[in-house]
């Protein structure tokens, strides 16, 4: 099959964890593979245009399930720390995306290698989030169990408004990609990569120069922006559950945005238009990437990525 030539632009595509485990589904492996196949339809459109492609993905639903497994089996096997769970999910989810992508390329007659890279992301051990964790993870806890898990396991537990009590962990700002040189070499060979799954494995550098894991989770969109910066990507696609960025979301006076500049994004962010738990990290990631040299950010839904690439839907964010 003929692949359209381009100037070998590089695109980072960030898939939400909910694209693989959909809301209202059980989330079994058969469903996850089916969702992965659907999620990569838009990525194939970029590949047909000749792009170098790096795929990142979230892991929120999967981390939650993994933590439940840890809690339910801790009397049988040693529990796993959060950093190892993130690494395990990078491998497992990376395998699903990698095999699915290999099959799509095969059926399309496109010869490109595909690889998953376990990716460590540098964070600051003194990040404010480490000192005051706010990221909710894992199952809902009963109020009477809070004191016990706090004392026995050293967890920090806070009330998740409207849901109950849950464990909170640090979510420090990503600073750099440890494996960026390896990623760059593989991109030069036009390998399609699955990188920084779940925001990456948080690590920090010790005084002696050695790496050490940090028990935390990193926001996938912020990590994707750092990755895009470090691999000198031209474009960043952040795929979510809505077709466009919207002002006054879910209100009668809601306004969908076709375009957005960095200055406008900053203003709306400061005015509270984009909450931290939803669109906020994507907007901040877009700002970070464009100010670090990127040329275009597209925010759109997973199912309509092909139309977003063509400019028919989605919100296109630019520096000016």
**Is 70 exceeded by the pLDDT of residue 3?**
no
184 Rama class: left (phi>0) / alpha (psi -120 to 50) / beta: alpha
Please say whether the beta carbons of 149 and 231 come within 8 A: no
Q: Which of 58, 94, 244, 282 is labelled catalytic?
A: 282
Domains of the chain in sequence order: 10-133+170-233 (3.40.1160.10), 248-320 (no CATH)
Q: What is the pLDDT of residue 139?
A: 81
Q: Give the residue among 182, 176, 238 at the shortest CA–CA distance from 201.
A: 176
282 catalytic residue (yes or no):
yes
Q: Which of 27, 64, 135, 213 is catalytic?
A: 135
CB 66 within 8 A of CB 88: yes
Residue 42: the pLDDT is 94
% the chain with pLDDT above 90 = 78
Each residue's pLDDT tens digit, 257-305: 999 999 999 999 999 999 887 899 999 999 999 999 999 999 999 999 9
> Which tokens hold the place of 109?
């007659």
Let me know if 251 is a catalytic residue: no
16, 17, 94, 314: the active-site residue: 17
Q: Is 244 a catalytic residue?
A: no
Q: How confident is the model at residue 7 (pLDDT cuts 50, 70, 90)?
A: low
| The pairing of beta strand 135-141 with beta strand 164-169 | antiparallel
pLDDT tier for residue 4 given thresholds of 50, 70 and 90:
very low
126 tagged catalytic: no
Catalytic residue chosen out of the listed positions 16, 42, 94, 220: 220
Are the C-beta atoms of 305 and 45 separated by less than 8 Å? Answer: yes
Contacts of 312 (CB under 8 A, 6+ apart): none
Instruction: Encode pLDDT of 143-192 as tens digits.
Output: 999 999 899 888 899 998 888 999 899 999 999 999 999 999 999 999 99
180 among known catalytic residues? no
């Amino acid at each position: 099959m003929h692949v359209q030539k381009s100037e070998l632009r590089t695109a980072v595509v960030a898939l939400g964890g909910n694209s693989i485990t959909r809301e209202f589904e059980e989330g079994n492996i058969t469903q996850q593979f089916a969702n992965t196949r659907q999620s990569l339809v838009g990525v194939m459109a970029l590949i047909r245009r000749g792009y170098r492609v790096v795929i990142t993905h979230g892991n929120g639903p999967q981390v939650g399930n993994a933590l439940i497994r840890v809690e339910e089996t801790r009397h049988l096997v040693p529990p796993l720390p959060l950093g190892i769970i993130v690494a395990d999910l990078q491998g497992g989810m990376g395998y699903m995306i990698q095999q699915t992508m290999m099959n799509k390329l095969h059926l399309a007659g496109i010869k490109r290698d595909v690889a998953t890279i376990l990716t460590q992301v540098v964070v600051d051990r003194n990040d404010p989030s480490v000192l005051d964790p706010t990221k909710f993870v894992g199952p809902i806890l009963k109020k009477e169990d809070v004191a016990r898990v706090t004392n026995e396991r050293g967890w920090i537990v806070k009330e998740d408004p409207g849901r109950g009590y849950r464990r909170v962990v640090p979510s420090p700002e990503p600073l750099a990609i440890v494996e960026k040189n390896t990623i760059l070499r593989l991109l030069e060979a036009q390998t399609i990569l699955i990188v920084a799954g779940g925001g990456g494995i948080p690590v920090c550098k010790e005084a002696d120069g050695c790496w050490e894991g940090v028990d935390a989770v990193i926001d996938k969109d912020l990590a994707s922006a750092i990755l895009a910066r470090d691999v000198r990507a031209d474009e960043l696609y952040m795929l979510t559950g809505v077709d466009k960025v919207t002002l006054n979301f879910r209100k009668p006076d809601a306004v969908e945005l076709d375009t957005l500049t960095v200055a406008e994004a900053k203003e709306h962010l400061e005015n509270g238009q984009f909450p931290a738990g939803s669109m906020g990290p994507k907007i901040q990631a877009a700002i970070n990437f464009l100010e670090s040299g990127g040329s275009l950010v597209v925010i759109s839904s997973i199912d309509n990525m092909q139309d977003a690439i063509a400019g028919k839907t989605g919100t296109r964010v630019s520096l000016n």
